[in-house]
Amino acid sequence: MREPIDRASLEAFMSELGRTSRSHAQIYFTGGATAVLHGWRESTIDIDLHVENESDDVLRRIAALKDEICVNVELAAPHHFLPPLPHWKSRSESIGRFGSIDFFHYDYDSQALAKIERGHDRDLVDAGEMARRGLIEPVRLLRWLSEIEDQFHRYPAVDLPSLRRRVEAFVESAT
């Protein structure tokens, strides 16, 4: 069984991946990694990430590091579950560059919408923390949802009316 991932584990992961990768890539953290790095959670069970400019070198290093530093890593991002928000990359906050790898927090609005869609207690707490810390403006989530609603046919597992109700309830509770 793997140990919980704390800030030190995440920083070790970023440092080692950047130091040992020969290829350049952008890595976007989402979920628990964002919560840990921002400090509203002390640990998470896995590192959810999305790799842009992925190469076999970077993916092989991620797989090796998973075992070397004993962490769980999943290739998971909001756009795997919901239509991507326009220009999400430009709104993704930089964490820093480690060697040849640039690390970012995946766009907070995208993360919040995906968390609300999942609806787990921890996800809703995370979305609430994003609002409380000013990382998202809850009312903007409704505008984003309207902007991407014509793309939900590509995500048949998502019930759009139900998601809209959950986002409206979140906005009401967060404002």
For CA atoms 145, 149, 155, 159, the dihedral sign is positive
- What percent of the chain lies above the pLDDT cut of 90? 87
| CA pair distance 6, 37, nearest whole angstrom | 8
The pLDDT tens digits of the residues spanning 28-49 come to 999 999 999 999 999 999 999 9
Backbone angles phi, psi at 102, to 5 degrees: -95, 125
Is residue 1 scored above 80 in pLDDT? no
Backbone angles phi, psi at 120, to 5 degrees: -70, 150
Average pLDDT value for the chain: 94
**Per-residue confidence band for 3, with pLDDT thresholds at 50, 70 and 90:** confident
Q: Mean pLDDT throughout 72-93?
A: 96
CA dihedral 162, 166, 167, 169 (to 10 degrees): 140
Task: Output the pLDDT for position 172.
Answer: 96
Tokens of 149: 């609603």
Q: Mean pLDDT throughout 97-114?
A: 97
Q: What residues contact 103, with CB distance under 8 A and at least 6 apart?
A: 14, 26, 27, 28, 29, 94, 95, 96, 97
Q: Write the Ramachandran bin of 53: left for phi over 0, alpha for psi from -120 to 50, otherwise beta.
A: left
Please provide the distance, in angstroms rounded to a whole number, between the alpha carbons at the two ends of the chain.
40
**Per-residue confidence band for 133, with pLDDT thresholds at 50, 70 and 90:** very high
**Per-residue confidence band for 111, with pLDDT thresholds at 50, 70 and 90:** very high
- What percent of the chain lies above the pLDDT cut of 70? 99
Contact in structure between 37 and 7 (CB atoms under 8 Å): yes
Q: Mean pLDDT throughout 128-137?
A: 97
Task: Output the pLDDT for position 53.
Answer: 81
Least Cα distance to 97 among 15, 162, 1 occurs for: 15
The pLDDT tens digits of the residues spanning 54-67 come to 788 899 999 999 98
| CA pair distance 107, 13, nearest whole angstrom | 21
**Per-residue confidence band for 2, with pLDDT thresholds at 50, 70 and 90:** confident
Amino acid letter for position 105: H
Task: Output the pLDDT for position 54.
Answer: 73
Adjacent-strand bridge partners of 97? 102
